[in-house]
Structure 1
């Protein structure tokens, strides 16, 4: 059984079309089709069948694609073992990172990468909805993803999931807002004000829906924009409230907004690193994942972050006295 043909089957399972598979493997679509036909003949079972203008994997095809992924993982682990003897490794690591994670992790991570001679780390902007992160692992070694439903939302997809950080989501208010005098806020406090939100399908919108359910009232989504810095600017200008991740927003409060913790609603996001299991088994990728975990820990344990909730509440008390 030719391992290259198994790889083609696995890529087809991940990418969905012969054309996308051919492009990923740098071969022609006809070569992909021929290799799949040969593999079917070798195994004596139908792996691929026509579906409309394209193809889809049969039950046997899906099972073999899963087996191919396991073979790739085993081979990657074998290569990682050899690395410890011949010191060979992957010199270029390509990652997909959404903006606020890049702001938190990338500066420190690049310092860590510099300590390893010959290692090159490339970060690329990607910020799909939650359902879109897993698919990016077909094109990137590591994908940083986030969800308000916990790390487990990324399980069950055949990927290595590495939890990095749990980050609270706070309500951002204009500095002179009437609610700024309160140390904490609840859904009933905030639901009646205009909201500067994110488009439907982005994680923070799920929290706003929880606020609506808790308060029994619908929020006014005055603006929807998928950029946290734009949301900060809109809140600072007095246009409404927003949900912002604490660790990336707390140091920007001098721009004209304040943060207040939200109680009674699950308001935090889980940040994880995703990778295909065979990619995650590589020596270099294991090293970079360890660096990401260390950087995430450093962010969470930084004095200005660890004490953020206390400072937010203290600021509310000071605003009330004034």
Structure 2
């Protein structure tokens, strides 16, 4: 089988669209269709089948797409060896980041690169994605920073790798003049009658809200759903409701935070990369400084808490 056609098939497997695959590979949609038909002839069986208004992989197509990941990775390793020999560790690494991950990790990572590898730059793109959307971003970026409160399972795939960067506690936030503002801890039962500023459905914090509802044995009264933590904090600070906020980035001068008595919700921040991108010396170096930046954040918070 033509390895280039297998690579094209694996691209289609990730993007689920002839048009998106064509755009990614700088081909026309008709050229993609022709290459898939040629690969079907080589395989001796259909690799895609109609589904609704689009196409879906058959079982054989999915199996071949998985094997093509190894081809892509091997080609990327060869390219990486040549680039490192000729150029050293240099270039620009494009990262998709959600806003609070950029606030937490970008300054430290960029400072480390400036000091240790000035020929290597980060090109950050700030996006507020739903939890299910992070994996879809991976083909278009060198690194994608994603977060959730239920582990990395949703993002595991043969075509990508996952690196934990940071684990951050979530706390209940209230306005400075709220009756609970002077407390350090609060139970779920005490929050049952509160109005909540929550996140849109399928955003990572939603898992923690769901667990709270189970503890309360009733649904939360949600008055607004917003993706941006700074806007959520602004509404909490002005008395429009309470919410969950990330401990490491909360605006402590605007809201008061309390720990939950029953459980400690946390969010995990991960770096997602395509398997072949992880072969790049530049991407590996940036992943290293992101991990170190995460350590520095956790260390600084621990040192502050100990004082």
| TM tier, smaller | over 0.9
8 Å Cα contact 1:22/1:28 also seen in 2? yes
In the aligned structure 1, how far is the partner of 2:230 from the partner of 2:35?
49
* 1:173 paired residue number: 174
In the aligned structure 2, how far is the partner of 1:194 from the partner of 1:33?
53
- Structure whose residues are more often helix by fraction: 1
In the aligned structure 2, how far is the partner of 1:52 from the partner of 1:151?
30
8 Å Cα contact 1:211/1:265 also seen in 2? no
- The root-mean-square deviation of aligned C-alpha atoms, in Å, is 1.9
8 Å Cα contact 1:147/1:153 also seen in 2? no
C-alpha displacement of 1:39:
2.0
8 Å Cα contact 2:138/2:274 also seen in 1? yes
Q: How many residues align?
A: 306
What pairs with 1:36-115 in structure 2 (closer than 5 Å)?
36-88=36-88, 91-115=91-115
In the aligned structure 1, how far is the partner of 2:36 from the partner of 2:253?
60
C-alpha displacement of 1:98:
0.3
Taking a change above 3 Å as real, the CA distance of residues 50 and 62 of structure 1, as seen in their structure-2 partners, is same
* 1:34 paired residue number: 34
Taking a change above 3 Å as real, the CA distance of residues 89 and 64 of structure 1, as seen in their structure-2 partners, is farther
In the aligned structure 1, how far is the partner of 2:120 from the partner of 2:285?
11
**Is 1:15 aligned to residue 11 of structure 2?**
no
C-alpha displacement of 1:308:
6.0
C-alpha displacement of 1:53:
3.4
SS in structure 2 at match of 1:133: helix
8 Å Cα contact 1:134/1:157 also seen in 2? no
Q: Deviations over 1:284-306 (max 9, x none)?
A: 1111100100001101111xx11
| Consecutive unaligned residues in structure 2, runs of 5 or more | none
In the aligned structure 2, how far is the partner of 1:62 from the partner of 1:185?
49
SS in structure 1 at match of 2:27: coil
8 Å Cα contact 1:11/1:21 also seen in 2? yes
In the aligned structure 1, how far is the partner of 2:44 from the partner of 2:88?
39
C-alpha displacement of 1:84:
4.8
C-alpha displacement of 1:309:
5.8
* 2:271 paired residue number: 273
In the aligned structure 1, how far is the partner of 2:57 from the partner of 2:202?
28
Q: Which TM-score applies when normalising by structure 2?
A: 0.93
What pairs with 1:200-239 in structure 2 (closer than 5 Å)?
200-239=201-240
* 2:253 paired residue number: 254
In the aligned structure 2, how far is the partner of 1:117 from the partner of 1:20?
35
**Is 1:297 aligned to residue 298 of structure 2?**
no
8 Å Cα contact 2:169/2:264 also seen in 1? no
In the aligned structure 2, how far is the partner of 1:262 from the partner of 1:153?
26
* 2:302 paired residue number: 306
* 1:320 paired residue number: none
Taking a change above 3 Å as real, the CA distance of residues 89 and 9 of structure 1, as seen in their structure-2 partners, is farther
